[in-house]
Amino acid sequence: MHALPALPTDPTELQEAYAYPAEGVWLRANMIASLDGAAWYADRTEALGSPGDRRLFLALRGLADVVIVGAETVRVEGYGPVKASQGWDVYRAGRTPVPPLAVISRRLDLDLDAPFFTRAREGARTILLTTETAPPDRRAAAERVADVIVAGRDGLDFPRAVEELAARGLRRLLCEGGPTILARAAAEHVLDELCLTLSPTLVAGDPARILNGPQLPEPSRLRLASLYEEDDFLFLRYARR
């Protein structure tokens, strides 16, 4: 057996290890799971994490053009606007200081006075990905505080949402879940890469797995692109074949 390489601590090394492809649109997801497959503990992912997982979480945000997340994850995890972190001057040369959030919400039943709307940095206005069936009054109100993209009728059309983001120059995409959103991305064949932190914990109970949706028509097999270790945590990166 060979010792696994340690998760890089230097921002430049992290940038090299997790660089996006030089061209084209690429959707990366970042998730964490316990050894028994739980995507959270007591409704939050924080209890499963570590300093290394947090460091990678911030680095992946810094490398992205936009951070995609479902409305339920925003509520449960208490999302605020994306904030710049150490090393982002390396990651974001020539781009806005922070990436915008793109929140998926079918009915736009969000608090439009929440900080991730009102305190979003200039050049990183929050984006809402919604559907044609969103209530017109909610859409009109949302358009005052966010850029609204309609992609799909009753449910989000993920390929169309990706195309709309790419048309705005946002090609390096990062999805932070939750599990229902990630299951949809996998089912609609837009997921290019999965960064999975394997937490050395057991939690039992009934939390969802990192994909929570109908069974795929057939298993989607990925290839191992990299593997790092720190404090008994494994940091796996799988990419589409």
Q: Is there a cis peptide before residue 70, judged by omega within 30 degrees of 0?
A: no
The full set of domains in the chain, from first to last, is 25-215+222-240 (3.40.430.10)
pLDDT digits (tens, 9 = 90+) for 178-201: 999 999 999 999 999 999 999 999
**pLDDT, the chain, mean:** 96
- Please indicate, yes or no, whether the overall pTM of this predicted structure exceeds 0.85: yes
Predicted local distance difference test score (pLDDT) of residue 2: 78
64 touches 99 (CB < 8 A)? yes
Q: Does the pLDDT at position 215 exceed 90?
A: yes
Does the pLDDT at position 36 exceed 90?
Answer: yes
- Residue (of 135, 101, 106) closest to 118 by Cα position: 101
3-state secondary structure of 167: helix
Quick: pLDDT tens for 39-93.
999 989 999 999 999 999 999 999 999 999 999 999 999 999 999 998 899 999 8
Query: How buried is residue 172: exposed, middle or buried, by Cβ count under 10 Å (0-12/13-18/19+)?
Result: buried
Mean pLDDT of 107-119: 95
Show Cβ contacts of residue 188 under 8 Å, excluding neighbours closer than 6 positions. Answer: 157, 158, 159
| CA distances, 45 to each of 39, 118, 143, 148, 198 (Å) | 7, 25, 30, 28, 12
pLDDT band at 1 (very low <50, low <70, confident <90, very high): low
User: Nearest-CA neighbor of 100 among 141, 146, 132?
Assistant: 146
pLDDT band at 156; cut points 50, 70, 90:
very high
